[in-house]
Amino acid sequence: MSLRRGLHTFGRFWWDFIIGDTPELALGVAVIVLGGWLLAKSSAALAVGLVPLGVILLLLVSLRRGARAG
């Protein structure tokens, strides 16, 4: 019982830490990192520009969602 509770607490910590109330950020980060990895293989210069751009777009989209909800 205490093991189950411990696992639940552990899982809850990671869920709150990574996803919390902004699943779009976690998903967006995964897409950006995967895209950066794929781009780096073919065009490193493009990846240098597109990864930060993706981060900026993700922040703005998430802020817009937060402002609408708030």
Partner 1 sequence: MTATVLVALSVFGACSVEMVEALTIVMAAGFTRGWRSALEGAALAVVCLAILVAALGPALVHFIPINVLRLVVGSLLLALGLQWLRKALLRASGYRAKHDEDAIYRREVERLAGVPRASTGRDATGFVISFKGVFLEGMEVVMIVLTLGLSSGRLLVSTAAAAAAVVVIGGIGVLVARQLSEVPENAMKLGVGLMLVTFGTFWAGEGAGISWPGADLALLILIALYGAVALLAYALLERGRGQTVGAGAA
Between residue 35 and residue 54, which ones bind partner 1 under the rule CB under 8 A?
A: 36-37, 40-41, 44, 47-48, 51-52
Is 31 one of the binding residues for partner 1 (CB under 8 A)? no
- Comparison of 1 and 67: residue with beta carbon closer to partner 1: 67
The count of residues in the chain is: 70
Is 67 one of the binding residues for partner 1 (CB under 8 A)? yes
User: Buried b / exposed e across 6-23, counting CB within 10 Å, b at 16+?
Assistant: eeeeeeeeeeeeeeeeee
Distance, in Å, from the CA atom of 37 to the CA atom of 32, rounded to the nearest integer, reads 9
**What six digits make up the tokens of 62?**
């998430």
Instruction: Give me the residues that bind partner 1 (CB under 8 A), please.
Output: 13, 17-18, 20, 22, 25-26, 28-30, 32-33, 36-37, 40-41, 44, 47-48, 51-52, 55-56, 58-60, 62-63, 66-67, 70
